[in-house]
Structure 1
């Protein structure tokens, strides 16, 4: 962490994202999460995890700092069975105490995707009703959230800050500066199990219809929405007001 003290709550509320980013720009993931917890408080801080191919590393760090930090998991209705079983495995393995599985609104699904074909005809709309809107509801009680994006993932993620402003909330990216080698080291040191689909060639795992295998010479997220210009589901590109 750099020499700046981490800004705290004031009479005007939370410190700004810019102030926190300046203080935490060189911090370790553990330091970023501990600072978020200290500044915001557990009751107002949540983590969001897909329980995907690299998620165990961030969840391990969260568990080391405070296993009672709420973790939001978006159960879209289109997830691989392997992802659901991996979630349960990691919750038990890491001792996570407050994992909240959030599902899409049933009435919205019946109205906008009764035939379960929206993923094909309009994937942005599908992500909106199955991820973006459920996350916005789930984050209602919180002032800040933690996620696992990394700059090495490329695209829109290549320039992310350690702390960002997300509508009315702070967004902490404790793995922004981390490398693939460092993630591998966390897995190795903690003997974390890999996502079950990694062995089958899935390097990034989301919803079943929109996820495919990616070869070693491709970007890790090349198998997401393959053949489409879409690269993000929307939870990181649409404000979670």
Structure 2
């Protein structure tokens, strides 16, 4: 049941306003409400099609199979990730998956030898992830992410609604723990990313992703050995990732 106050809201407010109106709603119900009533035609889900992505994608498909999904293909993703994406899209019946990535001209100017990752992690992420995503988000007022507090110390205070400049980020699974996530995988009978069983718990580009040691931070395999914790897509969060 939609909150009475929400029924009159047509112009999105700031993150704290949205939290007050919709903080008690979750899952497919929340995504459907946001896409139909709050941000019609102006919201998309951004997914890496990684190890935990299937749950949020399933919720979006349940809310609306045409819920827009943005997938950033950096050109350096595992082949297993691309095949997993195709499997999930077919399985869930998603009809609006938008693949974006760096242009040939951008790569020629910024990473002509394809080895920028070896020289500057941040510059490589900016070129291959952040810039393409910003293009894809043009014209949108909100976007949905799959981030969760348990994933790393830098996400420990992640809110449900987050101000992202003039846009709103929605983190529907922010307060989910690993146990609840696993229960949802089982309940929905969702397929797993093929690399997860091999110790890859957070998967990005093959150039910068390693297996995670038992009991370690799930994101410790990303840019291992460096101080980097975020690719740049989420560096505008008002926590320690800023």
TM-score by length of 2: 0.92
TM-score by length of 1: 0.93
Q: Which residue of 1 aligns with 2:198?
A: 200
Q: Is the CA contact 1:3–1:23 (under 8 Å) kept in the aligned structure 2?
A: yes
Tell me the CA shift for residue 5 of structure 1: 3.5
- Aligned equivalents of 1:69 and 1:62: distance in 2? 6
Q: Is the CA contact 2:101–2:133 (under 8 Å) kept in the aligned structure 1?
A: no
Tell me the CA shift for residue 178 of structure 1: 1.1
SS in 1 for 2:34: helix
Q: 2:34 aligns with which of 33, 36, 41?
A: 36
**Cα RMSD over matched residues?**
1.8
What count of residue pairs does the alignment treat as equivalent?
237
Q: Which residue of 2 aligns with 1:80?
A: 78
Q: Which residue of 2 aligns with 1:90?
A: 88
- Aligned equivalents of 1:30 and 1:225: distance in 2? 33
Q: Which residue of 1 aligns with 2:6?
A: 6
CA 2–99 in structure 1, closer or farther in 2 if over 3 Å, else same: closer
- Aligned equivalents of 1:94 and 1:206: distance in 2? 22
Provide structure 1 residue ranges, at least 5 long, that are not aligned to the other structure: none
Cα deviations across residues 40-65 of structure 1 (Å, max 9, x unaligned)? 34411100000000000100111111
Tell me the CA shift for residue 14 of structure 1: 1.8
CA 6–153 in structure 1, closer or farther in 2 if over 3 Å, else same: farther
Q: Which residue of 2 aligns with 1:24?
A: 22
Cα deviations across residues 13-52 of structure 1 (Å, max 9, x unaligned)? 3222111112333432233312321333441110000000
Q: Which range moved further: 36-45 or 212-221?
A: 36-45
Tell me the CA shift for residue 186 of structure 1: 1.3
Provide structure 2 residue ranges, at least 5 long, that are not aligned to the other structure: 238-242
- Aligned equivalents of 1:72 and 1:167: distance in 2? 19
Tell me the CA shift for residue 95 of structure 1: 0.2
